[in-house]
Amino acid sequence: MNQLLGAADLKVRRCVASQLGGRMLTEVEAPDQSTLERWFEARRINCEWIMRIDLDGHNGKVTEY
């Protein structure tokens, strides 16, 4: 997880994981989906799904990207 958070080529905004469940959720800023897919593949991380985020609700405020 620290290696992902310290990545210089893409910005990992957030990373949460379940050691018991063997799952990890990452929030990454990338120019496009194919770049992000290649980035995960290079790190041998299997992705079940990738989703583009257009709206973010946080602390009573909605932000559109």
Q: List the Cα angle 21/30/45 in 5-degree steps.
A: 30
What is the rounded average pLDDT of the residues 16-40? 94
* pTM of the entire predicted model: 0.78
Confidence of residue 11 (pLDDT cuts 50, 70, 90): very high
What is the rounded average pLDDT of the residues 23-45? 94
Q: 């799952």: which residue's tokens?
A: 23
What is the rounded average pLDDT of the residues 32-54? 93
Confidence of residue 65 (pLDDT cuts 50, 70, 90): confident
Q: In angstroms, how far is CA 48 from the centroid of its own chain? A: 12
**pLDDT of 35 strictly over 90:** yes
What is the rounded average pLDDT of the residues 5-22? 93
